[in-house]
Amino acid sequence: MADALRMEKGKQLLKHYYAGQRMESPNGGFLILLGISPQKGGTAMGVFECSASSLRYEIVIPKATRTERKKVKDVLQAGGDPDCPRHGPDFRLVRAGKTLVCSHCGVPYARV
């Protein structure tokens, strides 16, 4: 989306997002998730809208770390269904083509 503004303090907002908490908007109100789109290189882009001003904001969701990918691969090798390392045990990874992706953060964690 070309009209969305880039968010500063992205790391802090992502911590709230991963925890399922309400994220405060810079203009008052709170941010509502509109969508997640995977990007090249393993990152994702989250588009949020302010509930008070209707301005749209983009947050770059970083690609999976080595530690996160290793956790997912260990669960796969043990024969389990891996959860998203960022969102926690209630969010299973889903298959998208040949990769396992979190549907809530759009980040690919392993190839199957």
For the stretch 61-95, pLDDT in tens is 999 999 999 999 999 999 999 999 999 999 999 99
CB 25 within 8 A of CB 53: yes
C-alpha 66: how far from chain center: 16
Predicted pLDDT of residue 1: 47
**Residue count (the chain):** 112
Q: What is the dihedral of CA 41, 58, 69, 20, to 10 degrees?
A: -170
